[in-house]
Structure 1
Amino acid sequence: MKARALVLWAALLSAPALHAADRITGQPFATRSEVHAPHAMAATSHPLATQVALDVMKAGGSAVDAAIAANAALGLMEPTGNGIGGDLFAIVWDPATNKLHGYNGSGRSPKSLTLAEFERRGLTDIPPHGPLPVTVPGAVDGWFALHARFGKRTMAQNLQPAIRYAREGHPVHEVIAYYWDRSVPRLSKWPGFSEQFTIDGRAPRTGETWKNPNLANTLQQIADGGRDAFYKGDIARTIDAYFKANDGFLSYDDLAAHAGEWVDPVSTNYRGVEVWELPPSGQGIAALQILNLLEPHDLKSYGFGSPEHVHLFVEAKKLAFADRARWYADPAFHPAPVARLISKDYARERGKLISMERALREVQPGTPKQLDEGDTIYLTVADREGMMVSLIQSNYRGMGSGMAPPGLGFILQDRGEQFVLRADHPNGYAPGKRPFHTIIPAFATKDGKPWLSFGVMGGAMQPQGHVQILLNLIDFGMNLQEAGDAPRIQHDGSTEPAGQAVAMHDGGEVDLETGFPYETVRALMRKGHSVRFADGPYGGYQAIMVNPHGGYVGASESRKDGQAAGY
């Protein structure tokens, strides 16, 4: 027996280090199988929201109807990541026109809040909570804009599931309960939070029933009165009075003036796949820049988890993020040379800075010339007509600002924390300006046809996650679920486009999730990388892929509470 044990131990030691699970199908990273369905698919970060989306489509709703219904449900069920006090971005594939449509549903800073006011208060950066980081919430506007163009059912029908769950209650899921518990001590000082988002001063526990009748009433007002019920009705007046009473600046006039906008997605071709992102004020084009920098390298031959794979990814990320810090901002105030930034020529020029032997410690942004011519939930839905929706929505930092107007049942976002308190900075604070945005939906097409609707939530991890999903699918041959379950890389420490915007000078830190071999860690250290272990900052993934044999394939994040399901 002892000899047999030694043989087994030797076999384990000699087994490939990257096999994190014993899947008889040979897919080492898949925690479960992909989901296949012939007619429709939904993937969200909460199983009940996924079921809401499917119910809407079974009742004749479009993918957009289903996405709105699921997003409304998530605002109730996962307030740690989103809600109608936050912003929204979406990419929609319309099968009627064979075209992608993008929507930037982000809000602007209060017009009565000036840079001089921050200076008067002696602030060098915008605080993460309270009234000062609050910007106009754009999610409700985004719902109605998407619905007006692509909806089939009424908005009242789309909001009814969330209203019902808000009144009757639902059991809180595990990961959500964990983050809720972390948020309560930070946010309970702000008026309205404890009264509306705790049970006797504490967060709801896993499996405990949570009700939010105030949110039910608010959603019913929106269902009855439409978009203007939120931006020009009693809800807006309640928000206005709340901020006036609590040293804030968001006003009725700010809400009434809000308008999101349709934007054209932009793309790059990576090994025959056209990858689509939204242009700034978000950070989506960082993913396109990273892909362009990686394309000349034979990642497939290097293999997943190899030192070359991780090193090249991190170095490309550093270069893209240097441009992100310099160029990505509200284009109404600071237009970016987007076409040049995502061009192959620019990538070839910048790629010369990458050494296979040594890690970059400092990276200056490029100086592209214009060519002639921005915590979170992510969800994706696809219907039987071929419409696909890639939608992301957020309060920004966890449960947002903590500012919860009385009787409304939601918290306002703190996205304004992303502004820099310098007039000469691209993201310098100004009244009526959109902050830099981290939340980004993604889409990919092949030969002009839809292939993949996907996203990875989580701050600066998002473009890094987008790239890793695509590398896993295209270069490393993983399936849709395995591509999300495979261990992830996060580089931290690049110069940021927001906050105090401290420049990177030491190469930053490389976080490697459990599953990378120690040989890779040692090789990275020899190249000058600072490698550390971090538990948790690797984002949350959902995806739907078009099955070439018909129907859809779905996948959901194993690190969250979510579910992919279809019919």
Structure 2
Amino acid sequence: MRGVIAAGHPDTVEAGAMILEAGGNAFDATVAAVFAACVAEPVLASLGGGGFLVGQEGEGEPLALDCFVQTPRQRRPLEELDFHPITADFGTTTQDFHIGLGSMATPGLVAGLFALHGRYGRLPMTEVLAPAVQLAREGVELNPLQEYIFSIVAPIYVATPGARDLFTSDGAAMLRSGDRYRNPDLSDLLDNLGREGPDLFYRGDVAHQIHEASREQGGHLHRDDMAAYRPVWRDPIARMYRGVDLLINPPPSSGGLLLAFALHLLEAQDPATALPGSLSHVERLSRVMELTERLRADWSGPLDETLLAPESLQAYASQLTGLPPAHRGTTHVSVLDASGNAAAMSLSNGEGSGWVVPHTGVMMNNMLGEQDLNPGGFHRWPTDSRMTSMMAPTVARWPDGRLLALGSGGSNRLRNAILQVLVHCIDHDLPLASAVSAPRVHYEAGLLNLEGGLAPSVCQALMEGGRSCQVWQDLNLFFGGAHCVERHEGGFRGAGDPRRGGVCRVI
């Protein structure tokens, strides 16, 4: 066996699998799969966004790559900005986002993928990009899940003529299940990137068009923002949880820190007293989520590793037993190979700004319009700074050689999705597929969301105990999409999250 890959769409997985079969390593396969995701998962992935990778080279050396978006170097006056709200409708709940050229931050994904390939890749970039080039030209047949995702964010994907040309069938109606989504402009761009490298994107015609449109139509971005962008190699957060070595996405991303914080709170509790799906299990998870949210509110300034200091951890851990009972477009790729390389990469375009770079097929991000990423309020971001994120790709390493790579999409729900998969795998030794498909909970702003599949008696007991609850009827992409792969007992296996069309393939 060469390896295993899990991701959010069959064509994303197929691109990575083709590269593994051709002799590429886990990093080659990750690059191929992420580029393909920008075609196969167009709402969740775009060259106009950014991402994070956590992994290991061979059997030991940990690594983390930050290629998330950067704030512009200068702010435009508010009265000049193209920046306006839309409402995304999940059916059971709604969420407001802001779009327009004034919501765009400097994209980092292209630079990051080239940096990853340049340092760790084995095959030529033209070969690694070939599956995505072909996919964009031939097109992807949309499935029911993609139709549902489009329906949630439809106001964004009909916001401009460029978006309507790509994502509607007749200039008005959104593409539906069974329709074929083609992006020949993106195919050409990917083909040219393979031959010319990332300067085409950051210093060439793409950067020029972003600069001109921003200047004329109300954006912040300047050609200097594009030319100055650099991905950053970092050291992952390394934490032990019940004897398992965890590599977690480091600051300035906050998702990894909050995941590490939540795991510390749980480690002091006996897992045998809270079996998966039980009332005590759901209460315990919801308390930890509530304390994590309280930490975010209490902390002044950007989150950093001082929140993992013993005195800080103890201050919140002491509150755990005293508590009363209790969508951002993101996707993920996980890959392991036979050489021990591991890659967990999460990427996001926000919901998309609604603006497509002409003749490229690339919708730009709306990270400056994401309330989660701008807790101090819109238009108050520090200039020329890496933005924070909830994305938290993670690698878990057991003493016996078991290896797990995972991550999730799902806005500020994603870290709780990862938390629950880790708890199921480490605390309760559930099979990976069961750990991923088990019903989830998510606490935020005083409301406990309970996914379909939990026992009605558990939901009823929580509400009778004073919890404000939203009960969902089925599994739903609101609760994230955790795509996971593992090496265990001499073989590879994985699980794509059914909430987001996840697929796994062993090669």
Name the TM-score, length of structure 1 as normaliser: 0.81
Q: Structure 1 CA distance, aligned partners of 2:161 and 2:74?
A: 21
Which residue of the partner structure matches residue 403 of structure 2?
451
Which residue of the partner structure matches residue 264 of structure 1?
235
Q: How does 1:226-241 map to 2 (within 5 A)?
A: 226-241=197-212
User: In structure 2, which of residues 81, 85, 108 is the aligned counterpart of residue 138 of structure 1?
Assistant: 108
Q: Is the 8 A contact 2:247 2:395 kept in 1?
A: yes
Structure 1 residues 428, 319: closer, same or farther in 2, change over 3 A? farther
Q: Is the 8 A contact 2:83 2:100 kept in 1?
A: no
Q: Which amino acid aligns with 1:60?
A: G
- Are 1:179 and 2:141 counterparts? no
Q: Structure 2 CA distance, aligned partners of 1:385 and 1:422?
A: 40
Query: How far 1:352 moved relative to its partner?
Result: 1.5
Structure 1 residues 249, 287: closer, same or farther in 2, change over 3 A? same
Structure 1 residues 118, 267: closer, same or farther in 2, change over 3 A? farther
Q: How does 1:93-132 map to 2 (within 5 A)?
A: 93-95=56-58, 98-113=60-75, 117-118=77-78, 128-132=98-102
Which residue of the partner structure matches residue 284 of structure 1?
256
SS in 1 for 2:103: coil
- Are 1:57 and 2:11 counterparts? no
Query: How far 1:434 moved relative to its partner?
Result: 2.6
Q: Which amino acid aligns with 2:465?
A: K
Q: What is the percentage of aligned positions where both structures have the same residue?
A: 27
Q: Which amino acid aligns with 1:53?
A: G
Which residue of the partner structure matches residue 18 of structure 1?
none
SS in 1 for 2:356: coil
User: In structure 2, which of residues 472, 481, 486 is the aligned counterpart of residue 545 of structure 1?
Assistant: 486
Structure 1 residues 430, 335: closer, same or farther in 2, change over 3 A? closer
Which residue of the partner structure matches residue 210 of structure 1?
181
- Of 311-320 and 527-536, more deviation after overlay is shown by 527-536
Q: Is the 8 A contact 1:427 1:436 kept in 2?
A: no
Which residue of the partner structure matches residue 315 of structure 2?
349
Q: Structure 1 CA distance, aligned partners of 2:181 and 2:376?
A: 46
Structure 1 residues 122, 190: closer, same or farther in 2, change over 3 A? closer
SS in 1 for 2:65: strand
- Of 118-127 and 140-149, more deviation after overlay is shown by 118-127
SS in 2 for 1:431: coil
Which residue of the partner structure matches residue 294 of structure 1?
266
Q: Which amino acid aligns with 1:277?
A: I
Q: Is the 8 A contact 1:376 1:395 kept in 2?
A: yes
Q: Structure 2 CA distance, aligned partners of 1:123 and 1:235?
A: 22
- Are 1:316 and 2:288 counterparts? yes
- Residues 43-80 of structure 1 show CA distances to partners (whole Å, capped at 9, x for unaligned) of 11111221111110111111111111111111011111
User: In structure 1, which of residues 528, 534, 542 is the aligned counterpart of residue 472 of structure 2?
Assistant: 534
- Are 1:244 and 2:200 counterparts? no
Which residue of the partner structure matches residue 40 of structure 1?
3
Q: Is the 8 A contact 2:141 2:181 kept in 1?
A: yes
- Of 185-194 and 280-289, more deviation after overlay is shown by 185-194
Q: Is the 8 A contact 1:420 1:428 kept in 2?
A: no
Q: Structure 2 CA distance, aligned partners of 1:421 and 1:75?
A: 22
Give the count of matched residue pairs: 491
Normalized per residue, the structure richer in helix is: 2
Query: How far 1:143 moved relative to its partner?
Result: 0.3
Q: Is the 8 A contact 1:327 1:426 kept in 2?
A: no
Query: How far 1:343 moved relative to its partner?
Result: 4.2
Q: Structure 2 CA distance, aligned partners of 1:123 and 1:559?
A: 31
Q: Which amino acid aligns with 2:62?
A: L
Q: How does 1:68-79 map to 2 (within 5 A)?
A: 68-79=31-42
For the aligned residue pairs, the C-alpha RMSD in angstroms reads 2.7
Query: How far 1:539 moved relative to its partner?
Result: 0.7
Query: How far 1:509 moved relative to its partner?
Result: 0.7
Q: Which amino acid aligns with 1:103?
A: L
Which residue of the partner structure matches residue 67 of structure 1?
30
Unmatched segments (≥5 aa) in structure 1: 1-37, 329-333, 361-373, 494-507
Structure 1 residues 556, 127: closer, same or farther in 2, change over 3 A? closer
Query: How far 1:490 moved relative to its partner?
Result: 0.9
Q: Is the 8 A contact 1:278 1:441 kept in 2?
A: yes
Normalized per residue, the structure richer in strand is: 2
Query: How far 1:186 moved relative to its partner?
Result: 3.6
Structure 1 residues 81, 157: closer, same or farther in 2, change over 3 A? same
Q: Which amino acid aligns with 2:419?
A: V
Structure 1 residues 416, 180: closer, same or farther in 2, change over 3 A? same
Q: Which amino acid aligns with 2:336?
A: A
Q: Structure 1 CA distance, aligned partners of 2:460 and 2:377?
A: 39
SS in 1 for 2:320: coil
SS in 1 for 2:277: coil
Query: How far 1:158 moved relative to its partner?
Result: 1.0
Q: Is the 8 A contact 2:72 2:383 kept in 1?
A: yes
Which residue of the partner structure matches residue 382 of structure 1?
336
Which residue of the partner structure matches residue 88 of structure 2?
none
Q: Structure 2 CA distance, aligned partners of 1:200 and 1:315?
A: 48
Query: How far 1:151 moved relative to its partner?
Result: 0.3
Q: How does 1:139-158 map to 2 (within 5 A)?
A: 139-158=109-128
Q: Structure 2 CA distance, aligned partners of 1:157 and 1:422?
A: 39
User: In structure 2, which of residues 52, 56, 74 is the aligned counterpart of residue 89 of structure 1?
Assistant: 52
Q: Is the 8 A contact 1:62 1:151 kept in 2?
A: yes
Q: Is the 8 A contact 1:113 1:431 kept in 2?
A: yes
- Of 238-247 and 421-430, more deviation after overlay is shown by 421-430
Q: Which amino acid aligns with 1:315?
A: R
Structure 1 residues 185, 350: closer, same or farther in 2, change over 3 A? closer
Q: Structure 2 CA distance, aligned partners of 1:180 and 1:462?
A: 20
Q: Which amino acid aligns with 1:118?
A: L
Name the TM-score, length of structure 2 as normaliser: 0.90
Which residue of the partner structure matches residue 470 of structure 1?
422
Q: Which amino acid aligns with 1:387?
A: N
Structure 1 residues 357, 562: closer, same or farther in 2, change over 3 A? closer
- Are 1:556 and 2:496 counterparts? yes
Structure 1 residues 293, 252: closer, same or farther in 2, change over 3 A? same
- Residues 514-565 of structure 1 show CA distances to partners (whole Å, capped at 9, x for unaligned) of 22223322332343211121363111111111112x2311111112222101
User: In structure 2, which of residues 340, 345, 354 is the aligned counterpart of residue 402 of structure 1?
Assistant: 354
SS in 1 for 2:154: helix
Query: How far 1:394 moved relative to its partner?
Result: 0.9
Q: Is the 8 A contact 2:336 2:487 kept in 1?
A: no
SS in 1 for 2:483: strand
Q: Structure 1 CA distance, aligned partners of 2:456 and 2:141?
A: 41
Q: Which amino acid aligns with 1:431?
A: T
Which residue of the partner structure matches residue 6 of structure 1?
none
Structure 1 residues 250, 534: closer, same or farther in 2, change over 3 A? farther
Q: Structure 2 CA distance, aligned partners of 1:461 and 1:422?
A: 16
Q: Structure 2 CA distance, aligned partners of 1:337 and 1:421?
A: 15
Structure 1 residues 122, 220: closer, same or farther in 2, change over 3 A? closer
